[in-house]
Amino acid sequence: MNEPQPVTAQEFRRLCEFLYRRTGLVFTEAKRYYVERRVIDRIEATGAISFADYFALLRSDVRGEIEQFINAFTVNETYFYREDHQLRCLTNDLLPERTQLKARGQTIRIWSVPCATGEEPYSIAIWLLENWPEVDGYDVEIVGSDIDTRVLQAAAAGVFGKRALMRLSEDLIAKYFVPLDEDRWTILDDLKASIRFTPVNLVESGETRPHGQFDVIFCRNVLIYFDDASRRMAAENLYETLAPGGFICLGHTESMSRISSLFEARRFGDAIVYQRPREDGHA
């Protein structure tokens, strides 16, 4: 079979526009090779004979190709205890403030979005078990969501390699993981069962709204891939999925203050986070 031809400038624009409309992700000419390589892979995988043939297949969503196309463009670089200063802030400041409004036994909801292959939501669960004395006093619900359905399957399987575990101590690995071989570990079944994984597109309110409202949202290092319009849409959807007085943690290079005026910045000892104002108008 002949190697598919590189996409033309017009085809590149059509692809980027299609991806943007579906996901809010922005790819410019600087990312041309990245886009082209993944499109060629999908042309080969589907057996399409040309770009035009593949694009027709994509638009008609034959065999769920839109999902496969989107999966090919997501970035899933992560590891356990990444940006752990925010985890310290979670147990030192955010949860104590949220639990002032709740009776013991009530539900604390935490959302990791995008969750990639599960390192972040599992990190949150382990951190709470290790560092929050009140963990057994509340019904803690952790949800991990991502637009990439492949990584959600990997997250639910809970199998990780050395690089994913590089920030964890040997004691933590021994306590919460079971070795499969020299290079892979699986997380304990009880932890695996405690986290729910769901597909979600942050720029589609019809997909975010059914998740309800959360006390804390971790939404790190995804808004940087959006343009201004998509960021505002995502911010509005995140605002609606935060309980009044709830908090959102972004990546260290991201600032909600430059995106939306809906949130109030809160500076704690370990991190700057963003809060949905309470209904009484107070932070």
CA distances (Å), origin 62, targets 23, 66, 100, 204 = 19, 8, 51, 22
Q: Give burial (CB, 10 Å; 0-12/13-18/19+) of 33.
A: exposed
State mean pLDDT over 185-214.
96
- The region of weakest confidence among 4-18, 132-146, 198-212 is 4-18
Say if residue 232's pLDDT is above 80: yes
The pTM of the full predicted model, rounded to 2 decimals, is: 0.82
- The region of weakest confidence among 36-50, 136-150, 230-244, 249-263 is 36-50
State mean pLDDT over 164-181.
96
> In what helix (H) or strand (E) does residue 179 lie, and over which residues does it extend?
strand 177-179
- Mean pLDDT value across the chain: 91
Return the DSSP state at 107.
E
State mean pLDDT over 73-87.
85
**Which residue type occupies 260?**
S
Tell me how far apart the alpha carbons of residues 101 and 247 are, in angstroms, rounded to a whole number: 14
State mean pLDDT over 191-196.
95
Say if residue 2's pLDDT is above 60: no
In sequence order, which residues have a C-beta less than 8 Å from that of residue 96 and are 6 or more positions away? none
pLDDT at 75: 64
Higher per-residue pLDDT: 126 or 39: 126
pLDDT at 283: 56
